[in-house]
Amino acid sequence: MSKSGPIYQDRDATYTADTCAPLVRATEAGELHSEALVNGHYCGRKIPRGALTGIKTVGFWDAQHDQNWGLDWHRNEGIELTLLESGRVGFSVEGDDHQLRPGDLTVTRPWQSHRVGCPNVGAGRLHWLIIDVGVRQPHQAWRWPSWIVLAPSDRDELTDILRHNERPVWPSGEEILICFRKISAAVEADRDGSSTSRLTVLINELLLLTLEMLRRADVSLDRELSATRRSVELLLADLQDNPRQLAEDVSVRDLAQLCGLGVTQFNAHCKRLTNMTPNQYIKHLRLGAAAAMLLEQPTLSITDVAIRCGFSSSQYFATTFQNRFGCSPRVYRDSHRSK
């Protein structure tokens, strides 16, 4: 439930984990009750230095009535498990919408775009846990904190399933629900690390119970999720979903580095995924964003639209726009305005 761990470093705020500000504001306003223990930037009571390393945030919220906020699209720097104990809440992962019901467990990988509330959170009690496993791109190896003491074979199996399975919502069962309740009780009772030992045991138990649930489900795995192509696919999708990034000076070399690839390999993946070179695809997205901006912001000058969409000059913008849409930006705006 953060706003994106830096899967693509040095990009815009989409990739900087936030502090779940809507939840914080609602808690401070007395709209709901929430408790959290945290490491790093998240809001909550700080975990003592050196304890429960890798836990970004663990806690729960309890909303007695429908809320006027939601956690909009974001990505986590860690693997996130959430469990809805009661109520209903909308949940979306990479464009697929789900209506969570009591007992549903959600699993999101570090790089998966998701939101909670569609758009707002309903009445209910929701538990969460985010563990940083040290990855910023899908093809990198996961590194669990040293206090996760599952047998190496169990840990590796759990990692394999979580990395390669695309299903984000699971019916949890009574054991996982009880374990989450105990974790939340320990979080609420903690004072200056007094629940550290109990949380260490319970979080290990939760991971083992999750593994056993996934074994029973006989999940199908998609090995391609951890391939380098997946990194490129996610980056291109994010550029498409966040047009404001297109105003930046984007080089193919920079994009390749964000995916951990060389330029040649990145070019090949981009061509396979879009049937365009990276530069062609960026121009394609910029022109699409410009066409939308011309209509949605009619007071902006053509030059301002060009600059905001990443074109170096209004003349170049006009030429490429003419080639794409068969008319100048001004004619395009005027013709749609008259309809």
The residue among 197, 224, 251 that closes a domain is 224
Q: Is residue 269 part of a domain?
A: yes
pLDDT of residue 224 exceeding 60: yes
User: 243 and 175, same structural domain?
Assistant: no
Q: Is residue 3 part of a domain?
A: no
User: 219 and 235, same structural domain?
Assistant: no
Considering only the C-alpha atoms of the chain, give the largest distance between any 2 of them, rounded to a whole number of Å.
68
The least confident of 9-18, 75-84, 114-123, 224-233 is 9-18
CB 287 within 8 A of CB 328: no
Whether the ω angle into residue 119 lies within 30 degrees of 0, i.e. cis, is yes
Summarised one tens digit per residue, pLDDT across range 263-297 is 998 998 888 788 888 999 999 999 999 999 999 99
User: 231 and 114, same structural domain?
Assistant: no
The residue among 201, 224, 247 that closes a domain is 224
Q: Is residue 1 part of a domain?
A: no
User: 309 and 177, same structural domain?
Assistant: no
pLDDT at position 228 is 76
CB 296 within 8 A of CB 264: no
User: 137 and 102, same structural domain?
Assistant: yes
Q: Is residue 5 part of a domain?
A: no
Q: Is residue 111 part of a domain?
A: yes
Parent domain of 302: 227-337
User: 166 and 31, same structural domain?
Assistant: yes
Summarised one tens digit per residue, pLDDT across range 52-76 is 999 999 999 999 888 999 999 888 8
User: 110 and 41, same structural domain?
Assistant: yes
- Considering its fold, how many domains does the chain have in total? 2
CB 109 within 8 A of CB 162: yes
Mean pLDDT, all residues of the chain:
88
pLDDT band of residue 227 (cuts 50, 70, 90) is low
Type and span of the H or E element at 155? helix 152-164
Q: Is residue 8 part of a domain?
A: no
In this prediction the pTM is 0.71
**What CATH number does the domain containing 204 carry?**
2.60.120.280
User: 237 and 213, same structural domain?
Assistant: no
What CA–CA distance (Å, rounded) separates 109 from 239?
19
Q: Is residue 260 part of a domain?
A: yes
**What CATH number does the domain containing 291 carry?**
1.10.10.60
Residues 6+ apart with CB under 8 A from 277: 267, 270, 271
User: 215 and 144, same structural domain?
Assistant: yes
Q: In what order do the strands lie in the sheet with 45-46?
A: 45-46, 33-38, 55-63, 124-131, 79-87, 104-108, 169-171
User: 245 and 305, same structural domain?
Assistant: yes
User: 288 and 179, same structural domain?
Assistant: no
The residue among 203, 224, 245 that closes a domain is 224
CB 36 within 8 A of CB 43: yes
User: 97 and 39, same structural domain?
Assistant: yes
